[in-house]
Amino acid sequence: MSDVLLGLKNLKVIFPAQQGIVRAVEGIDIDILKGECVALVGESGCGKSVTSLAIMRLLNTPPALIEVESINLGGDEITKYSENKMQDVRGKQISMIFQDAMTALNPVMTVGKQIDEVFIKHNKLSKKEARIETIKALRLVGIPEPESRAKAFPHQLSGGLRQRVLIAMAFACMPKLIIADEPTTALDVTIQAQVLEVLRNMQKSHNVSLLLITHDLSVVAHTADTVYVMYSGKIVEKAKVEDLFREPHHPYTEGLLGSIPRLSDTTKHFVQIPDSVPHPMFKPTGCYFHPRCKYATDICKEKMPPLVRLDNGREIRCYHPINFSGGENNE
């Protein structure tokens, strides 16, 4: 198990509120290997962003309450770190790329300065040395004329460039792990392709682990190695990316894959999942997916299925998994 970079065990996050308790994350385990790209896929409100912030220990208590068995980063247990020590970890060992670069960058500070800060904090460089490094970092992510762009304010850059600045900032100290929270969602399609390309190249060439958080399975297809599918605060399926796309075991995954329009499709209608995601405060009994599941039986309504770890490394939480050799729901 020495090649596990980040081991997250049994993370639970809840948000108490006046009307009740929001169970955002209900005990999830995630392992990220060195140099691997792991994708955490789920729809809005499934707790994927909360998970990423919990790993960085950036969730504020209150409003959040967190219980976690262990967050192990390269052999060190970071749950026991003091806030000061944690500050040395953030940006240096784990860093983050946020969804909307427009709001994630300080509007009144030049982008160069914002990247300088990382070098000044972690590499103890002077301002001048930091700027040299910053320009190097900007060039690395393919920003043309990095010297002048470093002096620009965020609003003076286009969306694609801003996102690249965030990537440069995340890769500044070459951390062991980068968490990218919906890094391309806010971008145009052609720009999205550029940014994903940059992200993937950076990750592969510097052998950094990447936790990619997204709702878009098609982004995952060409980027990730391992995929975790999350639904309503629980992991419902884990698999290698090829396995997942070839034969999804969980009905939810099947539904997600079906709702992505493919160029090769010939029918006019889409495969659809009925209904919508349950409210995190009022989740159904039993399997959270059962009201939307076409395979649901009585047991699904009563009891949450356990997470089953298969010997080929896949995980699945379902009473009636599909696409199994010998499974009950094969067409």
Partner 1 sequence: MKVLKKVLRKILNSLIGIGLFIGKIWKHKKGKIGLILVALLAFVAIFAPLIAPFDPYDVTERAAKGLSPSWEHLLGTTINTGQDIFSMLIYGTRVSLLVGLVTGIAIAFLGAILGIIAGYVGGMADNLIMRIVDIMLVIPTLPLTIVITNLFGKSYFIIVFIFVIFGWTGLARVIRSLVLVLKNSNYVKASELAGGSRWHIMTKHILPGVSHLLIMNTALTCAGIMVAEAGLSFLGLGDPTAISWGKMLAEAQSGGALLFGHWWWIIAPGIGIFIAVFAFMRIGLVMEEILNPRMKASSGIFKLFKTLNNTYIQEVFDGMNEEVLTTKEGEIS
Partner 2 sequence: MSKNPIIKIENLYVDFPVKGGLPFQKKKHISAVSDVSLEIYPGETFGIVGESGCGKSTLANAMVGMVKPTGGKVIFKDKDLFSLNRTDFKKTRSDMQMIFQDPFSSLNPRFSVFQLISEPMFIRGGFTKKEMEQRVLELLKLVGLDEKDLHRYPSDFSGGQKQRIGIARAISLNPDLLICDEPVSALDVSVHAQILNLLIDLQEHLKLTYVFISHNLAVVKNVCDRILVMYLGKVMEFGSTKAIYKNPLHPYTNALISAILDLDIKREKTILKGDIPSPIDPPKGCRFWQRCPYAMEGCIDIPAPLLEVEENHFVACHKLSGFNEEQIKNGLDKRINKDE
Partner 3 sequence: MQKSFIIKRIIYAIFIFFVVLTLNFFIPRLGVDDPAERYYPPQGNMSDIEYEIIKQVTREQYGFDVSTFKQYTNYVEGLLRFDLGTSFRTGNPKVSTLIAERLPWTLVLSVSNLVISLCIGLIFGTVAAWKRGRWQDSLLLNLSTISVALPAFFIALILSFYFGFELELFPAYTNPNMVSQFDWSWEAIKVVFFNAALPIISMSIGGIIGYSQRTRNSVIAVTNEDFVLTARAKGLSQNKVLFKHTLRNAMLPIVTAVGMSLSGLIGGAVIIEQIFNWNGMGTLFLEANNTNDYPLMMGIMLFMSTIAILANLIVELTYSLLDPRITVGEKR
Tell me how far, at minimum, the Cβ of 295 lies from partner 1, in Å.
12
Contact 142, 171 (CB under 8 A): no
Tell me how far, at minimum, the Cβ of 289 lies from partner 2, in Å.
10
β-bridge mates for residue 96, sequence order: 179
Give residues in contact with partner 3 (CB under 8 A).
53, 56, 58, 62, 83-84, 87-92, 95-96, 98, 100, 103-109, 114, 117-118, 121-122, 153, 155-156, 158, 166, 169
- Which pairing describes strands 20-33 and 4-17: parallel, antiparallel, or unpaired? antiparallel
Give the footprint of partner 2 on residues 214-253 (CB under 8 A).
Answer: 215-219, 221-222, 245, 252
How many whole angstroms separate alpha carbon 24 and alpha carbon 235?
12
Residue 262 main-chain phi, psi, to 5 deg = -115, 150
Return the residue of 3, 21, 120, 275 that touches partner 1, per CB under 8 A. Answer: 21
The residue among 248, 233, 213 whose CA lies nearest residue 288 is: 233
Tell me how far, at minimum, the Cβ of 11 lies from partner 3, in Å.
18
- For 136, what's the count of Cα atoms within 13 Å in the CB-facing half-sphere? 12
How many whole angstroms separate alpha carbon 23 and alpha carbon 233?
7
How many whole angstroms separate alpha carbon 211 and alpha carbon 221?
14
Q: Does 298 bind partner 1 (CB under 8 A)?
A: no
Q: Does 10 bind partner 1 (CB under 8 A)?
A: yes
The residue among 47, 66, 58 whose CA lies nearest residue 91 is: 58
Contact 13, 55 (CB under 8 A): no
Q: Does 260 bind partner 2 (CB under 8 A)?
A: yes
Number of chain positions touching partner 2 (CB under 8 A): 45
Piece of the chain touching partner 2 by CB under 8 A; list 130-138, 200-208, 261-269, 308-316:
261-269
- Which pairing describes strands 76-77 and 234-240: parallel, antiparallel, or unpaired? unpaired
Return the residue of 255, 280, 305, 321 that touches partner 2, per CB under 8 A. Answer: 255
Q: Which residues bind partner 2 (CB under 8 A)?
A: 43-44, 158-161, 188-194, 197, 215-219, 221-222, 245, 252, 255-265, 267-274, 276-277, 292
Q: Which residues bind partner 1 (CB under 8 A)?
A: 10, 12, 14, 16-18, 21, 23, 26-27, 29, 62-63, 65, 67, 304, 306-312, 314, 316, 319-321, 324-328
